[in-house]
Every structure is written in C-alpha cells, then in structure tokens.
Amino acid sequence: MKIMLINGPNLNLLGQREVDIYGSKTLNEIENNLKNIANQENAELICFQSNSEGEMIDQVHDALDLDVQFILINPAAYTHTSIALRDAFLSTSIPFMKYI
C-alpha cells in the first residue's frame, strides 16, 4: 500500500515554534517515525510539506500518477478556508483523512 502524508503551512517549524503547545519533535522526526511504522506494515509512506496551497493541491493531483491508495493530511491553516484543496480531493476520489 502506498500512503501520502501532506502537511500544510508552518508545520515545517515544528520543534521550534511554540514548543509549549506543539512539542519539541520536528516534522522530520515525526515523518521518520511514521515511515518506520509504515515499513513494518509493508506500506510506503510519501511525505510532503508546503506552505503553499497550490503546491498542496498539485501534490494531491500527483498522487494519482504515483498510485497512492490513501492520503493523510494536516492542512493546518487551510483546515477551514481552502475550498480549492477540498475540490482537489473530490476530483481524485482517493480516500483521505484529515488530522490536526
């Protein structure tokens, strides 16, 4: 199984910003941990982070060509405001789950 993890704006600063709220783990540490778990389950995890809504939409579209079976996304600041990102998911029909 191929899974895509998409992280949105400012998540590249995890471990540095507001550590008392978000903790001290970096995004890279979190992604590496999740990749290890995926490998144990014979799955491949593709990780992507962007501060740009358009790049996140492009990544959702690219998931079709990459034969991704599931997308896990933390849209961060776009959680409540991105109709375009929602439409990208609807246009691909790839199952997805939002986490925050």
- Which ranges of the chain would DSSP assign to H, the alpha helix? 19-22, 27-40, 53-65, 83-92
% of the chain exceeding 90 in pLDDT:
85
Query: Domain span at residue 52?
Result: 2-98
Judge whether residue 23 has pLDDT over 80. Answer: yes
Residue 73 tokens read as 């996304």
pLDDT in tens, 36-48: 999 999 999 999 9
Give the total number of structural domains in the chain.
Answer: 1
- Pairwise CA distance, residues 98 & 71, whole Å: 9
- In whole angstroms, how far apart are CA 69 and each of 17, 18, 65? 32, 34, 11
Helix 53-65 × helix 83-92 angle, to 10°: 0
pLDDT in tens, 30-78: 999 999 999 999 999 999 999 999 999 999 999 999 999 999 999 999 9
The CATH number of whichever domain residue 12 belongs to comes to 3.40.50.9100
Q: What is the pTM of this model?
A: 0.92
